[in-house]
Amino acid sequence: MSFTTKDGKKLITVIPGDGIGPEVVNSAKQIIEAAGVKIEWEEREAGASVFKKGLQSGVPQETIDSISKTRVVLKGPLETPVGFGEKSANVTLRKLFETYGNIRPVRELPGVITPYSGRGIDLVVVRENVEDLYAGIEHMQTPGVAQCLKIISKKGCEKIVRLAFEFALSEGRKKVHCATKSNIMKFTEGYLKKTFEEVAKEYPDIEANHIIIDNCAHQLVKKPEQFDVIVTTNMNGDIISDLTSALIGGLGFAPSANLGTDVAIFEAVHGSAPKYAGLNVINPTALISSAVLMLRHFQEIEAAQMIEHALLVTLEEGKVKTGDVVGYDKGTPTTKYTEEIIKNLGRKSSKWQVRDYKPLIMPKVSEDIALVKPTSRRTVGADIFIESSLSPLELGKSLESIAEGTALKLKMISNRGTKVYPPTGAITDCIDHYRCRFILLNGGNDLTDAQILELLNKVLQKYKWMHIEKLQEFDGQLGYTKAQGED
């Protein structure tokens, strides 16, 4: 989707960004214009300059309005305040416009010598972009215990898995790996694996494999050429896509596209590299290649391929080399590197090819808010999270007597996921954050909210609690995992 002006130009929101952002964005804009693409840029702000004005989100309304209209953004990196306080403006932008798929391609490039040169690395990481730990739902549970919620939905998994297969088709790729930590996080990471295995059946011409994310990292370093497309959850994708960019020469060469049903945001994988800001020394290739992805997005395939060829010729001839490749004391200035690519527009390398791209068909997934509708469900218990400095034994005995006379009984207590009551003999260095699992007494069928509240009311007479989770079953399947050591 994009917006065309009355005089036939594509209207694009451009965010120069922070640090080296304005330099790389300028380079990409000049090359696009030299390639003859008719674009009108609507420049908008986000990031550090906006935080400094006191806007907590880092994304002003004018920027949101512009993107809502143009639907396409070329964006420089935005600085993120570290630690407590403001959220990342990058993540805010991705979430505001539901750009759920982050496409991060890397390929071996001529003249960029790495330990992997000659092995033909050419792969794409498809990272889920809005869910997972990046939902940013964090709470201090006790004065000394922090928690971050990992939210993974069936809808989110459907969208990203389908996008990965569709992206593979659009580039004529043959293999998709799904990389998860489903062996440990069976419900969250496991949801992606399960969905992948279901959806893969609809793409019989594409080889589909699951791989555990840690082995994926290991295999990426050992034999990266075995991969074609890797689909993964947000955090895993963030990490392995920085790894994959290092395989082909570093962050200076790694582009990305944030794709949603309505809006697409194109940006380099790298950040604002503040130490190089304004020095005219950085490598603009990542943002130029992101701009190529943008041109493909609105079907300017010829211009996209022309820029890609010019980039390959420039790198192959090696007349200009950026500081990240040859050292910043010897590197070509960003502006001169840009001029050289512009000079090479129209030329093609005889050795280095550009893919034939087909239009990417964005997946259609139901917009129903409740995508999964079980035919039966019941509540069988509750986990009450309690702040206490008692020992597990003291707390366990006390909670057992508190639960007497209610519809529930204490089944076990865990500390950071390990069962500590009834005692198992294990050595656990406990913290003041206990998960106390209460289940329905024998014969109970469906626990009511009133019964849970009755128990909670009794617990809170004696203990501080910080949250409560219902233990549910959907279509007869447990909707919760057991603690380490729980039977």
Could you say which of 132, 238, 324, 383 is catalytic? 238
Nearest approach, Cβ of residue 278 and ligand NAP (Å):
13
Please choose, from the candidates 230, 153, 146, the residue with its C-alpha nearest in 3D space to the C-alpha of residue 416.
146
Nearest approach in angstroms of CB 353 to ligand NAP is 25
CB of 292 to ligand NAP, least distance (A): 16
Nearest distance in Å: CB 294, ligand NAP = 15
- Nearest distance from C-beta of residue 23 to ligand NAP, angstroms: 8
Which is closer to ligand NAP, CB of 87 or CB of 470? Answer: 87
Query: One of 100, 134, 276, 434 is an active-site residue; which one?
Result: 134
| Cβ distance to ligand NAP smaller for residue 51 or 352 | 51
Type of residue found at 236: N
**Chain position carrying tokens 């972009």:** 129
The token pair at 277 is 């800001």
State the Cα–Cα distance between residues 212 and 228, nearest whole angstrom.
16
Tokens (6 digits) for 450: 């009133």
411 is catalytic: no
- Residue 86 vs 454, nearer CB to ligand NAP: 86
Distance of closest approach, residue 371 Cβ to ligand NAP, in angstroms: 29
Q: Is 238 a catalytic residue?
A: yes
> Tokens in use for 236?
């895993």
- Residue number, 20 or 365, with CB nearest to ligand NAP: 20
User: What one-letter code names the amino acid at 422?
Assistant: P
Query: Order of strands, edge to edge, in the sheet holding 377-387?
Result: 418-421, 408-415, 434-440, 377-387, 464-474, 477-478
Taking the least distance from each CB to ligand NAP, the nearer of 79 and 383 is 79
**DSSP H/E element including 25:** helix 21-34
> What is the C-alpha to C-alpha distance for residues 126 and 486, in angstroms, rounded to an integer?
36
Look up tokens 């500081």; give the residue. Answer: 323
Q: Which two tokens stand for residue 384?
A: 């009450």
Comparison of 8 and 83: residue with beta carbon closer to ligand NAP? 83
Catalytically annotated residue among 69, 174, 186, 214: 214
Which residue, 180 or 232, has its beta carbon nearer to ligand NAP? Answer: 232
Q: Which helix (H) or strand (E) holds 56?
A: none
Q: Is 134 a catalytic residue?
A: yes
Torsion of the alpha carbons at 29, 31, 37 and 41, rounded to the nearest 10: 10
Q: Which residue is nearest to ligand NAP (CB)?
A: 271
Q: Which one of the listed residues 29, 155, 181, 411 is annotated catalytic?
A: 181
Helix (H, G, I), strand (E, B) or coil at 469: strand
Contact between residue 123 and residue 159 where contact means Cβ atoms under 8 Å apart: no
CB of 377 to ligand NAP, least distance (A): 40
Closest by CA to 283, choosing from 242, 316, 310, 251, is 251
Which residues make up the interface to ligand NAP (CB under 6 A)? 20, 24, 77-80, 90, 251-252, 267, 270-273, 282-283, 286, 324
In order, the DSSP letters of 255-303 are EEEEE-SS-EEEEESS---GGGTTSS-S--HHHHHHHHHHHHHTT-HHH
Q: How far is the CB of 14 from ligand NAP (least distance, A)?
A: 14
What tokens were used for 478? 């447990």
Nearest to ligand NAP of 12, 73 (CB atom)? 73
Residue 58 contacts residue 272 (beta carbons within 8 Å): no
Helix (H) or strand (E) holding 179: strand 175-180
Tokens of 463: 């203990």
The answer to whether residues 167 and 124 touch, using CB atoms and an 8 Å cutoff, is yes
**Hey, which residues are catalytic here?**
134, 181, 214, 238
